[in-house]
Amino acid sequence: MIVLSRAGEVALGVIGTILNVILLVIVTFSVVAVGNADPVELKQVFEEQMAADATMTPEDIAMVNDAFDVILDVFGIVGWVLVVTLLISVILSIIAVVKVSKNKSPKAAGILFIFAGFLSGILLLAPILFYIAAIMCFVRKAPVQYEQDPYYNNEVEHTNPPHQPL
């Protein structure tokens, strides 16, 4: 039985998973830090910076303060959605690496790599690695093995003794 080595797919999957975990940790810390920040204190610091600018009117400052509240709320919601999608991406990529490393179902691993890449972003390095691993899972085929021909099949036991020179 010929076993096709899937070391390339495994390596790309592991590197992509590590990059996703790093991004997941950074995003999680950022979301938690922004969620724990005191919005009143942040507004005061922001207002002091804007008050130093002579071109800002009080209406402009009020408008920026309102936008600041919205931005903090949106960042909290979008940040947690991003954390969840990155977590799902990490789980899918780990499952795909296990599937492709055992060489049981490389097509299913390719599909999981595509979903993991889609969930982890579009133009980051990790999804590009996942897409390359998925393409390799789909394209690479096991070499054709001819069972009847002993020159192609090394597993066939030869029953004839080796030829003796005369």
Segment 22-44, tens digit of pLDDT = 999 999 999 999 888 887 888 78
Asked if 50 contacts 64 with a C-beta cutoff of 8 angstroms, the reply is yes
Q: 117-163: per-residue pLDDT in tens?
A: 999 887 689 999 999 999 998 998 766 655 565 555 555 555 565 66
Place of tokens 């076993």: 3
The helix or strand, by DSSP H or E, that contains position 113, with its residue range, turns out to be helix 106-120
In 10 A of CB 117, how many CB atoms?
A: 26
pLDDT for 113: 94
CA atoms lying within 13 Å on the CB side of residue 126: 24
Q: Is the pTM of this model over 0.75?
A: no
